[in-house]
Amino acid sequence: MRSDKSGEGAGESGKVVAQSQGVTQQTQEQRIQELEKKLQTVTEELQGLKSQGGVPDDRLQSIEDKLSILAEEIDNIKQVSVIPEPTYEQMFGAGPAASKVYHTRKGLSIGGYGELLMGQVVEDGNNTVDAQRVVLYFGYKFTDRIIFNSEIEFEHGSTATNVQGDSGSVSAEFALLDFLLWQELNLRGGLLLTPFGIINEVHEPTTFFGVFRPLTERFVIPTTWRENGLGIFGDFDLKRAGNLSYKAYVMNSLNAEGFTASSNRGARTNGTESLFNDVAFVGRLEYEPVPFLTVAGSIYLGNTGQNSRVADEESSFNGQKVKGFFQMYEGDIQFQYMGFEARGLVVITRLGDAAAINALNGFTGDESVGSQQWGYYLEGGYNVLTLVDSPNQYFQYLAPFVRWDAFDTQAKVPSGFERNPENDRKDLTVGLNYKPIPQVVVKAEYQWLDNGLSDSTNQFNFGLGYVF
């Protein structure tokens, strides 16, 4: 969607901040105009007195001093460098804070977001707390038509390994150049976020319900998902019929050696010297018939073998080159009206040569990759503070929410392999989002987790998020 879908969240903040910034500039301009009028009046008065003659020198000096004071005040107002408040409004598919560079007149733009104190209290398990993400956006507007934008992400607090053997990372989440030609057609190239689903491009913590992202958009759609590529994007103003936007990219494809029974996440290359033997086409359409509703769909098509060959003398696939044609189709809907927010998503996948990929990766039994997968989620929340007229500026957004999330990464497996019931997931999340200001969110939730074996443990999660 072209604007943030978090109710009183970042998108609304953008509108409010933009208005306050406009008021500040308008006030300065009005003050300058008033002073210039006074300056002109006093100047005319001085000229009139001088033309009359016989005016005492001390009176003339007093008027000249007044002129100097007025001129100095005008000059001071004009020279004061006022740093404008940022505008948090989505542009070109980027998140609200990631869009700051597009609202900058020229030069450097810095923004960011974070997800801190991300805690999991697990029934009959180890409780954890994590500094999950600290992210910085660096953008540079060379001209109104050539723009650089990037996201640098620090995950899990440190790159060092802790006593449990866990470690964090520092990586470029995206780094791209935009060439803005027309509203309907623009060019983009670099390390790109794959335009697929709701969360992958817009995942700042103020833009979605819940402590953690929906599971379907983590295990089936491997958010956050970025690859090297280039493409086109734009939008069409359909007047009364609404707005239609699109993205169409060619990117390096996934790598079949990373597929597993439970997730597609390992198949991502993350832009790190990615194999480019196979390429993928990714496209997304978003249609807004009215400002509070968006209907969208995404498609991903590409071979994933990357010239790999099975090297297993005991396998019937020994020596076979793996193509691994991967298809992923997704549809989603987002709705926001007054204090109510809802979204839903459904995704299906098809993976060719699944048996050969199992042989390539040495998978047996119930370890098979899914030749077919599916997933969906539905969620909704309501900002209950829209029902009251609170005078407290820190008490404007409090939204209980509920999410139903279901997916199966082994919906079908090749003949001779077994499905693992653990990969058939159905989860219910109930929680609360509180925003003391639009750029900060406090989250808490409880999750009832279930799989085909009914051996999952429920958990309570909490966290803090911010954007700037």
Task: Please provide residue 343's backbone torsions phi and psi, each rounded to the nearest 5 degrees.
Answer: -155, 155
With CA atoms as reference, report the closest residue to 306 among 366, 239, 357: 357
The reported pLDDT for the residue numbered 123 is 75
Between CA 52 and CA 15 the distance in angstroms is: 56
Residue type, 446: Y
Torsion of CA 206, 208, 214, 217, to 10 degrees: -90
With CA atoms as reference, report the closest residue to 261 among 454, 427, 377, 422: 422
And the tokens for 14? 């953008």
Find the largest Cα–Cα distance for the chain.
117
SS3 32: helix
- The DSSP string of 372-403 is EEEEEEEEEEE-GGGGS----TT-SEEEEEEE
Please list the pLDDT of the chain residue by residue as tens digits (468 residues).
Answer: 544 443 333 333 333 333 334 444 556 677 778 878 887 887 877 777 777 777 777 777 888 888 888 888 777 776 654 555 666 788 998 999 999 999 998 999 999 999 998 888 887 778 888 899 999 999 999 999 999 999 999 999 888 888 777 888 999 999 999 999 999 999 999 999 999 999 999 999 999 999 999 999 999 999 999 999 999 999 999 999 999 999 999 999 999 999 999 999 999 999 888 898 999 999 999 999 999 999 999 999 999 999 999 998 888 999 999 999 999 999 999 999 999 999 999 999 999 999 999 999 999 999 999 999 999 999 999 999 999 988 888 889 999 999 999 999 999 999 999 999 999 999 999 999 999 999 999 999 999 999 888 777 899 999 999 999
Q: Give this prediction's pTM.
A: 0.80
Between CA 407 and CA 117 the distance in angstroms is: 27
Residue type, 62: S
The reported pLDDT for the residue numbered 201 is 97
The answer for residues whose C-beta is within 8 angstroms of residue 76's C-beta and 6 or more apart is: none
- The DSSP string of 388-449 is S----TT-SEEEEEEEEEEEEEEEE--TT----GGGEEEEEEEEEEEEEETTEEEEEEEEEE
The reported pLDDT for the residue numbered 26 is 53
- The DSSP string of 248-305 is EEEEEPP-GGG--SS-SGGG--TTSS---SSEEEEEEEEEEEETTEEEEEEEEEE---
Between CA 424 and CA 405 the distance in angstroms is: 11
The reported pLDDT for the residue numbered 158 is 84
What architecture does CATH give domain 90-467? Beta Barrel (2.40)
